[in-house]
Amino acid sequence: MTEFLTFFEEMPIWMKLGWVVGVLGVFWILEGYYTLSIVKYKKIKHAGVNFIFLLFTMIINVGFGALTLGVFYWIEVNQFGLLNSIDLPIIVELLLALIALDFIAQYGVHYLLHKVKWMWRLHIIHHSDTKVDVTTGTRHHPLDFTIRETFALIAVLIMGMPIAYYLFYRVLSVFFTYFTHANINLGKTDKILSYLFVTPNLHKFHHHKEMPWTDTNFGNMFSIWDRIFGTYIYDDPNKIEYGLDIVDDIKDEDILYQLKIPFNKSIKTK
């Protein structure tokens, strides 16, 4: 188990980038064969817009990388956090770390991004995509992403986890982010998997343009949080309409319009 975790700790940058590109590529291909929603749009152009947001994310990630290393160094020196105060098998510690990260840095912050007005205005950009596919997983306002990363560091501090646990979580998170946004149809398997994990169908209800579905299914990896806190919904995917009813749908690929959404007073939020 130690060697397994060391692999993620020592994973070179090119391999991490390869994982992102590889997962995106696989689901991009699968979307052509196992399509959930038949939507006519310029897939390459749509991807290009969302990849610009991905570029912003990667730039911010460089800065957070340095901060993250500092946090892990401080934890190790001071033996801070829950995992440093108890003695458990590595596999149990890893599972607890994944659960904490998924709850705090995914479900928890995602819930706040919908419920806190100024945070919601940042998160609108992600929901304004009217053609949800695998590339939608890359579409976040830079400040939205910064908030998410901050919550991830909070989870790291609370748990006092080693960096290897965090890096393993990041690899899993990339997979689930692109998997759940991918425009793929898993048939009956989707509903079965959704009892424990977030699936493509399950997450698509979250991207419906109207309430109350927009405020459901906040999870990223585990769907148990939505079940526990009453935010779980699973219905007929054919009823889903992507986008948001408070923004201009025809400008979902207008980069400047999207970046200005948080400061656009003509957009009335809840």
pLDDT at 249: 80
Among 36-40, 83-87, 130-134, 202-206, name the one with the lowest average pLDDT: 36-40
With CA atoms as reference, report the closest residue to 176 among 147, 152, 199, 151.
199
> Quick one: pLDDT at residue 39?
79
Q: Which residue has the higher pLDDT, 222 or 251?
A: 222
pLDDT number for residue 58: 86
Predicted pLDDT of residue 132: 94
Q: Are 160 and 72 in contact (CB under 8 A)?
A: no
pLDDT beyond 70 at 80: yes
Q: What integer is the mean pLDDT of 11-17?
A: 89
Lookup: tokens for 220: 């990223």
pTM (predicted TM-score): 0.92
Amino acid letter for position 207: H
Average pLDDT over residues 121-126: 94
Do you find a cis peptide bond into 12, omega within 30 degrees of 0?
A: no
Tokens describing residue 255 = 């980069």
CA distance 158 to 139: 28
pLDDT of residue 270: 63
pLDDT tier at 109 (50, 70, 90 boundaries)?
very high
d(CA 208, CA 140): 17
Q: Render pLDDT for 28-74 as a digit per residue (tens, 0 to 9).
A: 999 989 988 887 888 999 999 999 999 988 888 887 778 888 999 99
DSSP 230: T
Length of the chain: 270
